[in-house]
Amino acid sequence: MGSDASEPTRLAGRAGSAARVPPLALLVLAAALALVHLALPLASLLRLVPLNYNEGWNAYHAEAVFSERPLYPAADALFPNNYPPLSFVLIAWLARGLGDPIRVGRLLSVAALFVIAVEIGWLARLATGSTRLGGFAAFLFVALMGACFGDYVGMNDPQLMAHALMLGGLVLVAGGQSWLRLAGAALLIGVGGLVKHSPVALPLAITGWLFGRDRRAFGRWLAVSAGVVVAALAALLLPYGTIAFESILRPRPASLRIAAGVSPGWLAGLSAPLALALLAAQPAWRDRLARLLLLYGALALGVGFALTTGEGVSYNAYFDLLIALCLLGAFLLRTVQLAPADARLAPAWVLALGMLIWPLLEAPHALLGLGPRILELEASETATLEDVGYLTSSAGPCLCETLTLCFWAGKPAEVDLFNSRQDFRSGLVEEEKLLARIARGEFAVVQLTGIWKDRDDNQVSAQLARELLRHYVVDRVSTNGVFLRPRRDPSHPAS
């Protein structure tokens, strides 16, 4: 069974690898790249600017926690909810004291990013015995996140919060496998699953690793995990009923062709760390803790690809892979011998630069473009304030493709164009339900990022585009798109 199950697992044979720690200059470089790629997201954090479709969607569901609108609407609703409830509940409570739930969600997302970086640093230090390598892994994560997936930094979305909670479970398990640690890890992972249910690679990796390492610890893990699963199911069923399960497990169109089409582009920035991690596979499998990290990385790649078969799934499906690669990267720098011991063909600093290649390549663009993009943010904020005022002054319900605009204007949740489109394609809801409302001119304003005769995408079908062009007319254009009013609008006879 190996060592005592409660004993922290550490890297074997690390004492002889002191020379393989990258120089301090590389730690400074990684920190500088992290700062460069965080500059724009942090500058956007509190601005009244729509950053992503998800932001308004999450805000509306947080608002539902304390409103009469159900958090999990009926199956045929045009504003469905397929996320677990915990992030909405947390943001709703915080927003009661702090104000705008969108900004609250952004702050929580940034806080989660830094928590993940600290957890990665701690785990990398535990795996390698080097504080410097722990720091490098932490800064590598932030730099890669900012350079490859910067749109998700500081976005009102629960994904990073879920990863921060689940990675806390890995921190506990890696430090020992006592009953208390395993129970705490299962609880953190369970709470993370109530925030976002798709990051399943880490709990699967822990389960497989414990099964192969220590059957007593594995039994403990199954016992505490079963208790947490029962508690999580009760936390869904008791307040929300079976509609919560039906909503969260709602099917969407899926295809291997979708995953094959989008994954190469999303993985481009991770290609160097992924290739280098393959070099660490053999020595990693011989080490207890590194074997867990390798299992995590392999499962993260497979689960990420499987998730991206779903229509509309974004690159956040590969965040588990990013975390695992940063952890394996630290192990690689400490242990992998690419040349004879007395050779200098592939010192640690060359490998470290390889892992940083994408943030390095993107750094000039990020630096040179920072000033102009901040000016764009200021102009966009001005336009957004005007657009929100325009929507606020419009009597009656509004339909927004950019949900943030309708939310900031105080308009009730009417139509989630993206998820409704998925339901139409899956046959769960009839699109005629929406088309009839358009034909009747029920919406005082319809805001779209753009409208044209042949539009047919994940938000607007060809039928919807035709109905809008038939019954509505453009009344306003801004950087946020076009604003349509009914052709026979008594409050706007000139239209």
Kindly state the average pLDDT of the residues 434-454. Answer: 94
Average pLDDT of the chain to the nearest whole number: 89
> 14-28, 166-180, 281-295, 336-350: which range is least confident on average?
336-350
pLDDT score, position 11: 43
74: left (phi over 0), alpha (psi -120 to 50) or beta: beta
pLDDT score, position 489: 58
- Is the pLDDT at 365 greater than 70? The verdict is yes
HSE toward the beta carbon, residue 248, CA cutoff 13 A: 20
For tokens 């309708």, what's the residue?
A: 406
- Is the pLDDT at 343 greater than 70? The verdict is no
- Is the pLDDT at 490 greater than 70? The verdict is no
* Type of residue found at 438: I
pLDDT score, position 491: 52
> 39-43, 156-160, 313-317, 409-413: which range is least confident on average?
313-317
> 268-277, 402-411, 471-480: which range is least confident on average?
268-277
Kindly state the average pLDDT of the residues 156-179. Answer: 96
pLDDT score, position 285: 83
Using CA atoms, how far apart are residues 21 and 132, in angstroms rounded to an integer? Answer: 7
Alpha helices in 155-255 (DSSP H): 159-174, 179-195, 201-213, 215-240, 242-248
**Using CA of residue 452, residue 454, residue 459, residue 461, what is the dihedral sign?**
positive
- Is the pLDDT at 196 greater than 80? The verdict is yes
- Is the pLDDT at 226 greater than 90? The verdict is yes
The residue ranking higher by pLDDT, 483 or 333, is 483
Binning pLDDT at 50, 70 and 90, where does residue 17 land? very low
Binning pLDDT at 50, 70 and 90, where does residue 21 land? low
For strands 445-448 and 481-486, give the pairing.
antiparallel
pLDDT score, position 336: 60
Reported pTM: 0.92
Using CA atoms, how far apart are residues 377 and 379, in angstroms rounded to an integer? Answer: 5
pLDDT score, position 252: 80
